[in-house]
Amino acid sequence: MSNVKDGYTFNSGAVLDNRIVMAPMVAQGSTKGGQVTDEDLNYFRIRSDVAAMIITGAVAVEDGGRGFDNQIGASKDEEVAGLTKLAATMKEKGNKAIMQLYHGGREAVGGYNLFHEVVAPSAIEFSFLPYIPRELTEEEIKRIITSFGEAAKRAIDAGFDGVEIHGANHYLLQQFFSKFSNHRTDQWGGSLENRMRFSLEILKEVKRVVKEYAKDDFIVGYRFCPEEIHGDNVGYDVSESKQLIEKIVDEGLDYVHISVFASYDEKPANSDKSFGQIFKELVNNRAAVIIVSGIFSEEDANKALDHGDLVAIGRASLIEPHFAAKIKEGRSNEITTQVSPEILDSLALPKGLIAWILQENSPLPPLPNLESLKK
């Protein structure tokens, strides 16, 4: 039976010395132009032994795709210097540093604030957005695919150990895959095969760049939501996402990362298997499966290995910057599980992140006990 203290070797040959991953989270510490700041560096420096592999929050591959005002960017060559400092900081304790490549599509509020325009697969009005996105042209779709490849090249130049393609959480790749948000009638929409095309072309372009410019053990991953069902609004179900992931794994990569929000053992309706178990069975050791959500202790992490090959921690990494180190050293009983006034400053959470978590109707899950600190 696997244990989180066990090592893991990816298809590329890259080796992790344990099974714990820091989940990608936007830290809101960067400049409005996407430059890495000291807040970003301090945030990751303190967490450089939180996990064997650390994934940045969403890094914008185009300025027009920025979902957040204070989000790291990899859309311009002048951002590489800051990204180089970031990669080195994340790897200080020998961990793998992964850059998550992102375009917000209709959710690109940061891009809207810059350019007063947002693009998406289709020009559909959404009640939760203050604008109607403009439908992408064929030429623009191809440009965005190229932008993912260019951002991957910047990640390589900056010294990152890998990239993760963000195909989850209702951002651009998921918007193309979802029949709820993709009403196109060309090769990029309509049939399931066409709705898969955008994600697959991005993966192919990233892999092309990696093959040409990166070292052999450079890691490539893909993050996805296993279903998009909101009441009567169904973008896709797990049977369709299984077909997408089958094709993605066939293309060849190191891992697929399942984005769920309730718990690592979350199940689709009327299923006796969790999403993790479903996709582990599908992938069948051809790539690693990363599972996430609700992991706050060594016991939680080991239980989560029944659902994935690697376990990602989100809020736990914000509260306990030495999560993996304490487990490795046999001090899991010392893992901190909630924020307190005494430790808040030592966590180096960017001010923008704290404000985001504490804002009214925040889209982020609460951080245990943080709410009490604003009184």
Taking only the tens place, the pLDDT of each residue in 261-309 is: 999 999 999 999 999 999 999 999 999 999 999 999 999 999 999 999 9
Determine the distance from the C-alpha atom of residue 206 to the mean position of all C-alpha atoms in its chain, rounded to a whole number.
16
| Residue 221 falls inside a structural domain | yes
Q: Which one from 8, 171, 236, 255 is the annotated catalytic residue? A: 171
CATH number at residue 311: 3.20.20.70
| Residue 345 falls inside a structural domain | yes
Domain count, the chain: 1
pTM: 0.97
Catalytic site includes residue 171: yes
| Dihedral pair phi/psi, residue 168, rounded to 5° | -120, -175
pLDDT digits (tens, 9 = 90+) for 115-142: 999 999 999 999 889 999 999 999 999 9
Could you list the residue range(s) of the whole structural domain that residue 365 is in? 8-374
Residue 76, judged by CB atoms within 10 A of its CB (0-12, 13-18, 19+), counts as: middle
| Residue 2 falls inside a structural domain | no
At 375, is the pLDDT very low, low, confident or very high (cuts 50, 70, 90)? low
| Residue 247 falls inside a structural domain | yes
| Residue 354 falls inside a structural domain | yes
| Residue 1 falls inside a structural domain | no
Give the other-Cβ count within 10 Å of 157's Cβ: 16
| Dihedral pair phi/psi, residue 163, rounded to 5° | -135, 150
| Residue 37 falls inside a structural domain | yes
Residue 160, judged by CB atoms within 10 A of its CB (0-12, 13-18, 19+), counts as: buried
C-alpha 192/C-alpha 195 separation (Å) is 5
| Residue 3 falls inside a structural domain | no
